């Protein structure tokens, strides 16, 4: 009788140990922010159109696109899906920020290099523990997106800087730097309708050399997100991207999110660090003024 109890206890201990080992393994897995999808001959227009066809065939919806830094040699295409939007809308505190995926095109010497934001990286960084709750749905979205990315050249190479998945869910570059839940509050309006009307009006006017790349609005839920191109040559993308790495194009555009009557953005010192995790403090210092410049630009869009 004693031996049977002892064997049972051993099995339980072994099972618990195995589960803890699996959890530890999963939490230690590393991920990188981007995929290099390969380089193909052609123009940005032809490569982009082929990819758009693949996106549509896999139930994705193109939401927008633009020439990053205003250069004809670069382009970012944004897209979403109904399944992705549903999952993101279930995550409180700006989950809708993760509802747009991005793929980038860079033309050089008659060939187009295609790079893409790793969907899972976005979900872990923006949805945080919300990713765990909707993992099955989000992993299906990732699988479909990866299928599209592979259609470019048949293979993917991840790049951009390794980070543990568990660390990404609570991303923090270093002491004194902001977290995801330390957003910059742009303005508190009298209502949700006033907020989105003001932002859209200013984007239509291209205030501060900005441009609306995409929009997702859910008026019944009082949630919206806008992708904003930062085209000011002195303070925008043309200024900061060459200093920190233009291959990370699919980090753009920057987002404004509206929930209820408040408009916010992610703090630049969080967002740039998350998409460029390999940046040293010395490299970061090259764009020291950029977070403040972006904050000023985005606040102007709320006035």
State the residue range of the domain holding 246. 184-300
* Residue 18: per-residue pLDDT: 45
pLDDT at 215 over 80: yes
Pairing between strand 101-108 and 111-117?
antiparallel
Residue 20 lies in a domain: no
Average pLDDT over residues 11-33: 60
Domain check: are 154 and 110 in the same one? yes
pLDDT in tens, 263-277: 999 999 999 999 999
pLDDT at 299 over 70: yes
Residue 174 lies in a domain: no
Residue 25 lies in a domain: no
| CATH code of 243's domain | 3.30.310.70
Picking from 233, 240, 178, 230, the residue whose alpha carbon sits closest to that of residue 206 is: 230
Give the chain's domain count: 2
Instruction: In whole angstroms, give the CA distance from residue 120 to residue 239.
Output: 28
- Measured at the CA of 184, the angle between CA 199 and CA 197, to 5 degrees, comes to 10
CA distance from start to end of the chain? 78
220's tokens: 């019944």
Residue 176 lies in a domain: no
Picking from 228, 217, 241, 245, the residue whose alpha carbon sits closest to that of residue 297 is: 228
4's tokens: 């049977």
Q: What single DSSP character describes residue 96?
A: G
Instruction: In whole angstroms, give the CA distance from residue 69 to residue 236.
Output: 7
Question: Do 254 and 294 touch, CB atoms closer than 8 A?
Answer: yes
Domain check: are 134 and 201 in the same one? no
Residue 237 lies in a domain: yes
* pTM of the predicted model as reported, rounded to 2 decimal places: 0.90
* Residue 13: per-residue pLDDT: 46
């Amino acid at each position: 009788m004693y031996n049977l109890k002892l064997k049972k206890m051993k099995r339980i201990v072994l099972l618990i140990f195995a589960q803890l080992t699996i959890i530890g393994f999963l939490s230690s897995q590393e991920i990188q922010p981007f995929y290099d999808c390969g380089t193909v001959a052609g123009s940005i227009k032809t490569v982009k159109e082929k990819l758009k066809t693949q996106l549509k065939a896999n139930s994705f919806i193109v939401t927008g696109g633009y020439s990053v830094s205003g250069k004809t040699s670069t382009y970012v295409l944004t897209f979403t899906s109904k399944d992705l939007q549903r999952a993101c809308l279930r995550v409180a505190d700006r989950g809708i920020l993760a509802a747009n995926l991005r793929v980038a095109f860079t033309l050089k010497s008659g060939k187009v290099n295609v790079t893409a934001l790793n969907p899972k990286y976005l979900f872990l960084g923006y949805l945080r523990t919300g990713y765990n709750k909707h993992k099955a749905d989000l992993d299906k979205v990732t699988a479909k997106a990866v299928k599209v990315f592979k259609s470019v050249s048949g293979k993917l190479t991840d790049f951009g800087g390794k980070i543990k998945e568990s660390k990404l869910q609570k991303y923090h570059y270093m002491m004194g730097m902001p977290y995801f839940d330390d957003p910059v509050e742009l303005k508190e309006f009298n209502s949700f309708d006033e907020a989105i009307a003001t932002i859209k009006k200013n984007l239509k006017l291209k205030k501060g050399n900005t441009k609306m790349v995409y929009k997702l609005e859910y008026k019944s839920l009082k949630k919206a997100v806008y992708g904003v191109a930062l085209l000011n040559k002195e303070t925008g993308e043309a200024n900061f991207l060459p200093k920190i790495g233009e291959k990370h194009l699919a980090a753009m555009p920057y987002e404004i999110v509206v929930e209820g009557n408040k408009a916010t953005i992610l703090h630049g010192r969080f967002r740039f660090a998350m998409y460029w995790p390999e940046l040293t403090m010395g490299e970061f210092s090259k764009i020291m003024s950029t977070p403040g410049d972006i904050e000023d630009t985005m606040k102007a869009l709320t006035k």
